[in-house]
Every structure is written in structure tokens, then in C-alpha cells.
Amino acid sequence: MDLFNDLYDCTENLLPKEGIVNYFGQIMTDEEANQYYKLLLNEIDWKNDQAVIFGKLIETKRKIAWYGDIPFAYTYSKVTKTALPWTKTLMQLKQLAELKTGETYNSCLLNLYHDGSEGMAWHSDGEKQLKRHGAIASLSFGAERKFAFKHKQTKEVVALNLASGSLLVMKGTTQDNWLHRLPPTKKVGNPRVNLTFRTIDLDQ
């Protein structure tokens, strides 16, 4: 962690309109971030992600994991996944994210990108199981990667680099009005682990 991160105003909205995104910068030391990175690589029950595209089940190189308070069933890309119980490491990070953001979360979707060739296409986290307009807290570990937002109507783009040990929060009407993605890059040869803490709506 360097002094530059002290300059981040976590109350500043990075989006110009119709949504709220706050970037906290690095919320832990480089040493702590590296420790969590190694723990997550080794402890998490990583599986290749699956999606149904044009009626065919496709398996991605990118790996994912899904954890939560209870065995939530979570469906996206027409594939349903069941949440595993929290690990000690994930519970620590959940509590840290809740402390920093002032929000509460009951689940976490994790992504493992092995290198810069793996990314995520434009999408919004609008699954009906999620709490409407609920906060999604994104913690990044490992390789620094570019992360971008694009307005669904105006196509305006906002982008930033997410450092290891950094926290970003999306909330309000962000998912209604903005897409986001992790673009592939040839400049990154190391893995990145991303945790997105979110809230499943139990009243549905």
C-alpha cells in the first residue's frame, strides 16, 4: 500500500449519472494482500465456469466459486450453482468489506483469471435472485487489471485499474443503467482473484 491510496475519496461517485460506484483503493498492505491471494488460490474450491450459449453447455478457462450464509441456488448464464459454506478466510474478507462499505452481504461469487487472456464480456449483475439495487463489493487480489463501465444508452465509458488488495463498490441503479467488464490484455501474465460480495434476496 502506498501513500497514493490515501488520496482516494471513497465517497466520490466514479459514474457521471444513473448509478453509484465508489473506489476505496487498497484497503490493506501489499503483504496482507499477497497472503490473502495465496490463501484464496489454495483454499477455494475452484471450478471451471459453465454457461449455456445457443443451447450448448460451454466450459470456460476462467474458474469460479460460490459461497454464502446458506446453500443459495444462484442462476446466471442459464446454469445454476449452489453456495458452499464460508471459509475462515472468506468470512474475514466479508467482514472487512462490510466494515469499509457500511453494507451487509450474505454471499460471494469468486472469479479466478489465470492470466490476461481471460476476462469478462460486457454484462450487468441483474439476476433476479439479487437484492434490487443492493450493493456489490468487489475485492481484487493478484495481478492489477483494468475494469470498465459502459452506459447502456449513451455508451459512455468509465475505466480504472484495480490494484491487488483494493475495494470497489457498485450500488444504487448501477446495474440498471451500466454494463461492466474485465477486458482481456496481453500485458498481464499472472493470475487475478476477484471476490464479489452480494446479497441474495431471501424474500423472493
Per residue in 41-79, pLDDT (tens digit) is: 999 999 988 777 778 877 878 999 999 999 988 776 667
**Residue 89 pLDDT greater than 70, yes or no:** yes
Q: What local confidence, expressed as pLDDT, does residue 80 receive?
A: 81
Would you state the pLDDT for residue 149? 97
pLDDT at 130 over 70: yes
Predicted pLDDT at 2: 42
201: pLDDT confidence band, cut at 50, 70 and 90? confident
Residue 20 neighbours by CB distance under 10 Å:
15
Neighbours of 99 (CB within 10 A): 10
Residue 183 amino acid letter: P
> In the chain, what are the domain boundaries?
3-198
The more confidently predicted of residues 58 and 124 is 124
The residue that leads in pLDDT, 102 or 4, is 102
Of 139, 136, 116, which is closest to residue 124 (Cα–Cα)? 136
pLDDT at residue 3 is higher than 50: no
Which CATH number is associated with domain 3-198?
2.60.120.590
User: What is the number of helices (H) and of strands (E) in the chain?
Assistant: 3, 14
Confidence of residue 4 (pLDDT cuts 50, 70, 90): very low
Q: For residue 160, is pLDDT > 90?
A: yes
- Residue 173 near residue 162, CB atoms below 8 Å: no
CA distance 31 to 27: 12
Cα–Cα distance measured from residue 92 to residue 125, given in angstroms and rounded to the nearest whole number = 24
pTM to 2 decimal places: 0.90
Identity of residue 132: R
- Measured N-to-C along each axis, helices 30-43 and 88-101 cross at an angle, to the nearest 10 degrees, of 140
Confidence of residue 7 (pLDDT cuts 50, 70, 90): low
Q: Tell me what pLDDT residue 77 has.
A: 65
What pLDDT was estimated at residue 98?
Answer: 98
Q: Is the pLDDT of residue 1 over 60?
A: no
| Res 69: pLDDT | 96
Sign of CA dihedral 83, 85, 89, 94: positive
Q: What's the chain's average pLDDT? A: 91
38 contact partners, CB below 8 Å, separation of at least 6? none
pLDDT surpasses 70 at 107? yes
88 — phi, psi (to 5°)? Answer: -60, -40
